[in-house]
Every structure is written in structure tokens, then in C-alpha cells.
């Protein structure tokens, strides 16, 4: 029950802070959204490259097993 009360208080103060200082919130969003897009893009590229290199290593293992037969 304590967590619910603290969560409600945090939501109240968060909404109050956003509405009373909306210009600062917008400034934060102007900076945060492009930064998150750059970070998300970097993560997606890293995941794609590691997935592609993982497939290559599986192919080389399969090719070496076929050569042993």
C-alpha cells in the first residue's frame, strides 16, 4: 500500500512539474528525442552487424563439417 501512495504522490508532483514548467519540459524533449534516436539507431546497427557476423561463423562451421565427410 505504501508503494501505491508513493507512486500517486510521484505522479502528482510529476504532472505538477510538467504543467508549471512546461517550457523546460519541452526543452528537455527537444534534446532527448534526437539523442534517443541516435542511441537507438546505434543499437540497431550493432545488433544487425553482430547478427550478420554470427550467420557467417555458422556458415563456416557448417562448411567445415561438410568437408570432413
Q: What's the rounded Cα separation, in Å, for the pair 27 and 52?
A: 38
Q: Are 25 and 18 contacting, i.e. CB atoms less than 8 angstroms apart?
A: yes
Residue 20 confidence (pLDDT)? 94
pLDDT mean by block of 10 residues, the chain; 69 residues: 94 94 92 95 92 67 58
Q: How far apart are CA 47 and CA 62, in angstroms?
A: 23
What pLDDT score does 15 carry?
94
Query: How many Å apart are CA 39 and CA 49, to the nearest integer?
Result: 15
SS3 for 4-36 is HHHHHHHHHHHHHHHHHCHHHHHHHHHHHHHHH
Amino acid at each position: 500500500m505504501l508503494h501505491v501512495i508513493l507512486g500517486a504522490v510521484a505522479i502528482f508532483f510529476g504532472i505538477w512539474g510538467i504543467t508549471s514548467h512546461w517550457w523546460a519540459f519541452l526543452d528537455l524533449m527537444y534534446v532527448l528525442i534526437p539523442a534517443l534516436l541516435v542511441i537507438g539507431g546505434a543499437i540497431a546497427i550493432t545488433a544487425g552487424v553482430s547478427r550478420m557476423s554470427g550467420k557467417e561463423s555458422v556458415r563456416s562451421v557448417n562448411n567445415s563439417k561438410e568437408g570432413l565427410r
